Amino acid sequence: MTVRFPDEPGFQGRFAPMRLEGEIRGLEVIQGEVPASLRGTYYRVGADPAWPPATPRDFYFNADGMVAMFRFENGYVDFRSRYVRTPRFKAEREARRSLFGAYRNPFTDDPTVAGLSRGLANTNVYWHGGRLLASKEDSWPIQLDPDTLDTVGEFNWDGDLSSQTATAHPKIDPKDGSLVFFGYMARGETTPDIAYYEADAAGRVTHEAWFTAPYASMVHDWAVTENFVVFPIIPLTASLDRIKQGGPYYVWDGSEDVYLGVVPRKGGDVRWYRGTNRFASHIMNAFDDGRYIHIDTPVGEKSAFPWFPDIDGAPFDPEKTKGYLSRWTVDTHADPDQGHGTTTFTQRKLTDCAGEFPRTDERRAGLGYNYGVINLTHVPGEVPDDGIPGGFRWLASIDPATGAMKRRFAGRDATVQEAIFVPPATDASTPNGHGYVLQLIDRHATGTTELLVLDAQHIDATPVATLRIPIRMPGGLHGNWVTDKQLSRRAE
Ligand code: V55
Ligand code: FE
Residue 338, pLDDT score: 64
Q: Does residue 176 lie in a domain region?
A: yes
Residue 242: inside a domain, yes or no?
A: yes
H or E segment to which residue 93 belongs: helix 87-95
Cα-based distances in Å from 267 to 127, 229, 340: 26, 11, 18
**Is there a single domain that holds both residue 119 and residue 165?**
no
pLDDT above 80 (res 459): yes
Looking at the structure, do residues 337 and 217 belong to the same domain, yes or no?
A: yes
Atom 8, ligand 1: residue with shortest CA distance: 220
Please give the DSSP secondary-structure letter assigned to residue 15. Answer: G
Q: Are 93 and 43 within one domain? A: yes
pLDDT band at 334 (very low <50, low <70, confident <90, very high): confident
- Measured CA to CA, the distance from residue 60 to residue 307 in angstroms comes to 10
SS3 175: coil
Q: How much of the chain exceeds pLDDT 70, in percent?
A: 98
Q: Give yes or no: residues 87 and 199 share one domain.
A: no
Of 88, 122, 125, 137, which is best to mutate to test ligand 1, by the most ligand atoms within 8 angstroms of its C-beta?
137
With H, G, I as helix, E, B as strand and everything else as coil, classify residue 460: coil
Best of 61, 84, 100, 104 to mutate for ligand 1, by most ligand atoms within 8 A of CB?
A: 61
Whether 480 is covered by a domain: the verdict is: no
**Per-residue pLDDT at 340:** 66
Ligand 1: residue of 58, 66, 136 to mutate (most ligand atoms within 8 A of CB) is 136
CA-to-CA dists, residue 353 to 153, 274, 323, 379, 456, angstroms: 41, 26, 8, 5, 19
Residue 339's pLDDT band (cuts 50, 70, 90): low
Q: What is the mean pLDDT of residues 134-148?
A: 98
- Residue 342 in this model has a pLDDT that exceeds 90: no
Q: What is the largest CA-CA distance in the chain?
A: 65
**Atom 4, ligand 1: which residue's CA is nearest?**
61
Nearest alpha carbon, ligand 1 atom 9: 61
237-246, 328-337, 419-428: which is most confident: 237-246
- What's the structural domain count of the chain? 3
Q: Are residues 16 and 114 in the same domain?
A: yes
pLDDT surpasses 90 at 337: no
State the distance from the centre of ligand 2 to the C-alpha of 167, rounded, in angstroms: 9
**Same domain assignment for residues 382 and 465:** yes
- With beta carbons less than 8 A apart as the criterion, state whether 243 and 189 touch: yes
> How many Å lie between the centroid of ligand 2 and the Cα of residue 337?
32
Q: How far is the CA of 430 from the centre of ligand 1 (A)?
A: 33
Same domain membership, residue 384 and residue 363 = no
Report yes or no on 478 lying in a domain. Answer: no
Ligand 1 atom 3: residue of nearest CA: 61
Q: Is the pLDDT of residue 92 over 80?
A: yes
Say whether both 425 and 342 belong to one domain: no
**Arithmetic mean of pLDDT over the chain:** 96
Is 310 within the bounds of a domain?
A: yes
- Tell me the ligand closest to 65's alpha carbon: 1
Measured in Å, residue 303 CA sits from the centre of ligand 1 at 13
Distances from the Cα of 300 to the Cα of 104, 157, 306, 317, angstroms: 25, 36, 14, 11
160 and 251 fall within a common domain = yes
267 pLDDT band (50/70/90 cuts)?
A: confident
437-456 pLDDT tens trace? 999 999 999 999 999 999 99
Within 8 A by CB and 6+ apart from 238, the residues are 104, 185, 189, 190, 216, 217, 218, 249, 250
pLDDT band at 217 (very low <50, low <70, confident <90, very high): very high
| pLDDT of the residue at 427 | 63
- The reply to whether 228 and 346 lie within a common domain is yes
Single out the residue of 229, 172, 226, 225 nearest to residue 195, CA to CA: 229
Nearest to 344 by CA among 294, 269, 276, 263: 276
Same-domain check for residues 267 and 393:
no
pLDDT tens per residue across span 17-61 = 999 999 999 999 999 999 999 999 999 999 999 999 999 999 999
CA distance 22 to 428: 32
CA of 137 to the centre of ligand 2 (A): 9
pLDDT average, residue stretch 190-213: 98
pTM (2 d.p.): 0.98
Check whether residue 193 and residue 244 sit in a common domain.
yes
Confidence band of 185 (pLDDT split at 50, 70, 90):
very high
Nearest of 90, 33, 44, 16 to residue 455 by alpha carbon = 33
Average pLDDT over residues 170-182: 98
Query: pLDDT band at residue 126, thresholds of 50, 70 and 90?
Result: very high
Domain coverage including residue 394: 378-473
- DSSP string of 214-274? SS-B-----EE-SSEEEEEE-SEEE-HHHHHTT--SEEE-TTSPEEEEEEETTS---EEEE
